[in-house]
C-alpha cells in the first residue's frame, strides 16, 4: 500500500534560535533534504506542512500546505493539515514525520502500516537510553476517519499530541538504533553538529 506522507515543518525552532530549522545545512544538503531523500522512495506523494511564504521551500518542488487551523500552535494543527490533504487526495490514511529527523528508517511507512491499531492509528517508537520504548507522536500513520475528532480537539484548545493519540488506541511500530536512533531529532546547534559528525563518519 502506497500512502502519502506529510513532512511537518511548521515549528518555530526556538531552541535553534528561530527561522526554518529544516532548511539548515547538513552534510552537503539541508536537514529537510535528508528527510525528503528517505521518504520519497516509500511514499505515494510527499508534501510539506509550513506556514508563511511557501517560496522558501521551492527547491524541493513539493506542495506546501499551511496549518488548517491558524492560531492553533503545535503539531496537531499540522497533523490536521495532513488529514485534510489526504481527504483531498481521496485516500484513507496519511503518514506524518517531523521535518527535523534526518535519520528516518527506509521502511517507515511499511512498518507503520503493519502496526496499525484497531482504529487504524500507528505511531513510531524506539527505545530510549534506559531501554524503555518511547513513542514519537508526530511520526505516525493517521486514518482520515479521526479528522473530525482532531478538529474538535483543536477547537477545545487541546494541544498535546499524546493526549489525542492515547484516546485512539495506537499501534506501535518499533525501530532500534542502527547505530543511531532513527527518530533522533535536531533541536539545538549541538544536535546539528552531532548529526553532521554522524553523517561524516566512515
Ligand X SMILES: Nc1nc2c(ncn2[C@@H]2O[C@H](COP(=O)(O)OP(=O)(O)OP(=O)(O)O)[C@@H](O)[C@H]2O)c(=O)[nH]1
- Minimum CB separation of residue 82 from ligand X in Å reads 9
Distance CA 2, CA 24 (A): 29
- Minimum CB separation of residue 164 from ligand X in Å reads 13
Which one among 9, 39, 124, 141 touches ligand X, defined by CB under 6 A? 9
Beta-ladder partners of 48: 7, 64
10 is known to lie in a ligand binding site? yes
Which one among 4, 75, 105, 182 touches ligand X, defined by CB under 6 A? 75
- What is the residue whose three cell numbers read 506524518? 96
Nearest to ligand X of 42, 96 (CB atom): 96
Estimate the crossing angle of helix 31-39 against helix 189-200, to 10 degrees.
60
Q: Total number of residues binding ligand X (CB under 6 A)?
A: 21
Nearest to ligand X of 120, 137 (CB atom): 137
Under the criterion CB under 6 A, does residue 63 sit at the interface with ligand X? no
Under the criterion CB under 6 A, does residue 21 sit at the interface with ligand X? yes
100 is known to lie in a ligand binding site? yes
* C-beta of residue 9 within 8 angstroms of C-beta of residue 99: yes
Which one among 29, 54, 63, 74 touches ligand X, defined by CB under 6 A? 74
Here the cell at position 134 is 518511547
Alpha helices in 2-143 (DSSP H): 31-39, 75-89, 108-114
Under the criterion CB under 6 A, does residue 49 sit at the interface with ligand X? yes
* C-beta of residue 85 within 8 angstroms of C-beta of residue 6: yes
Binding residues among 136-165 for ligand X as defined by CB under 6 A: 138
* C-beta of residue 122 within 8 angstroms of C-beta of residue 166: no
Distance CA 88, CA 151 (A): 16
Distance CA 131, CA 180 (A): 14
Site string for ligand X, 90-119 (x = CB under 6 A): --------xxx-------------------
Distance CA 27, CA 17 (A): 20
110 is known to lie in a ligand binding site? no
Which residues are known binding-site members for Mg(2+)? 100
Which residues are known binding-site members? 8-10, 21, 49, 67, 100
The residue ranges that bind ligand X (CB under 6 A) are 8-15, 21, 49, 67, 73-75, 77-78, 98-100, 138, 187
Amino acid at each position: 500500500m502506497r500512502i502519502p506522507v506529510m513532512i511537518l515543518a511548521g515549528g518555530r525552532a526556538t531552541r535553534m534560535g528561530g527561522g526554518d530549522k529544516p532548511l539548515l545545512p547538513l552534510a552537503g544538503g539541508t536537514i529537510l533534504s535528508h528527510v525528503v531523500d528517505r521518504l520519497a522512495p516509500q511514499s505515494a506523494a510527499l508534501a510539506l506542512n509550513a506556514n508563511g511564504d511557501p517560496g522558501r521551500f521551492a527547491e524541493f518542488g513539493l506542495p506546501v500546505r499551511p496549518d488548517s487551523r491558524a492560531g492553533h500552535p503545535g503539531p496537531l494543527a499540522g497533523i490536521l493539515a495532513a488529514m485534510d490533504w489526504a481527504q483531498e487526495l481521496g485516500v484513507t490514511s496519511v503518514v506524518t514525520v517531523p521535518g527535523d529527523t534526518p535519520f528516518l528508517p527506509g521502511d517507515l511507512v511499511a512498518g507503520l502500516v503493519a502496526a496499525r491499531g484497531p482504529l487504524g492509528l500507528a505511531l513510531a517508537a524506539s527505545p530510549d537510553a534506559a531501554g524503555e520504548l518511547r513513542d514519537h507522536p508526530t511520526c505516525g500513520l493517521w486514518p482520515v476517519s479521526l479528522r473530525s475528532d482532531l478538529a474538535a480537539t483543536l477547537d477545545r484548545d487541546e494541544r498535546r499530541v499524546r493526549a489525542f493519540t492515547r484516546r485512539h488506541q495506537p499501534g506501535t511500530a518499533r525501530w532500534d538504533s542502527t547505530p543511531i536512533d532513527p527518530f533522533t531529532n535536531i533541536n539545538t546547534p549541538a544536535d546539528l553538529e552531532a548529526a553532521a559528525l554522524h553523517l561524516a563518519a566512515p
